[in-house]
Amino acid sequence: MHTTGPRSAGDVAAARVASVTDDVEGRYRLAGEFYLGSRHLHRFARAELRFTRALIARGVLNPTAARRPGSRWWRAVNERLLRDKLEARLLVERRRGPPSAPSVAYWRHFLEAPSRSTWYRAHNASVVDAYLVHEPLALREQRVERFMMNVALLRVQYAHALVAAPRLALGTLAPLAPLLGDPRSGTVGLFLHLHRHFPLHYPLPAGDLLLGPVVDRGIIMTRADDLYRFSAEALALPQVVELIADGVPSYAAPSSGPATWFEGRDRRLSRFVASVTRHRG
């Protein structure tokens, strides 16, 4: 009689995620289940679940065979995040087996030592590695969608820096940075939630997009190169520095020149904000 040994935590996690691949609300529930068990852990779910709700509202997580198809890229990135978290939870509960990826190990560390820094390192390692792995899918998206992917990547790295590298993130205002970037608070939504500045539906309409508010042009873009280097080191993903060229985010060849990232109607305010928060490495 043929018998098989116990499945690895990674296999169980992959099967669980596969079971909700075409169930949008199932994905949302699975994302939230990771944080169950203590009130302290549950507070960290706030930023991630709000962003997931925004993705659902856009329709990017819809089944690809739906009347309104979702995005293969956004679905793949979301699935990677779900798998990593679930595998880490299983490893902690079973207390056996190695993690299948460094990002899983970071999530396990977060469960064992929850903090703002351990949450961002785990979350961003899953997301950024998914960016790298799924770039071929990103290249099949419209140019404006790829621009939005770059904005999302830029902001999530900045939010991490607010907590783990405050002086890089806010210069002389560094003492405020950890509070602004705390994933348990509502203030982090200023940096992570894109729905205030981009259309809510998918796919995005064709045409050019300019970077949104002053925080992007006046603060984040003035230290973009340093942010990508920070992420490469903090996440142990050296390939991250290849996703920016001459100070302009360049994931999936967005074909967006410097004007897209730096021009806007409030240039004077952007320059003022940049001067106040200037980072001197």
* Beta-strand relationship, 244-245 and 248-249: antiparallel
Taking residues 81-110, report their average pLDDT.
Answer: 94
Reply yes or no on whether the pLDDT at 39 is more than 90: no
More confident of the two residues 216 and 79: 79
pLDDT exceeds 50 at position 276: no
Q: Is the pLDDT of residue 75 over 50?
A: yes
Q: Is the pTM of this model over 0.85?
A: yes
Residue appearing with tokens 């490893």: 91
Q: Over 60: is that where the pLDDT of 2 sits?
A: no
Is residue 3 scored above 50 in pLDDT? no
CA distance 91 to 231: 26
Q: Using one digit for the tens of pLDDT, what is the confidence trace for 145-174? A: 998 899 899 999 999 999 999 999 999 999
The answer to whether residue 278 scores a pLDDT higher than 70 is no
Dihedral, CA of residue 74, residue 80, residue 83 and residue 86, to nearest 10: -90
Contact 118, 231 (CB under 8 A): no
Distance from C-alpha of 87 to C-alpha of 102, rounded to nearest angstrom? 12
pLDDT at position 7 is 86
* 204 band by pLDDT with thresholds 50, 70 and 90: confident
Give the tens place of pLDDT for each residue, 224-270. Answer: 999 999 999 999 999 999 999 988 999 998 655 565 666 654 554 44
Contact (Cβ atoms closer than 8 angstroms) between residue 252 and residue 137: no
What pLDDT sits at residue 262?
Answer: 61
- pLDDT reported for residue 246: 87
Mean pLDDT of the chain: 86
Percent of the chain with pLDDT over 90: 64
Token look-up 């679940």 returns: 49
Residue 209 pLDDT level (bands cut at 50, 70, 90): low
pLDDT tens profile 48-64: 998 899 899 999 999 99
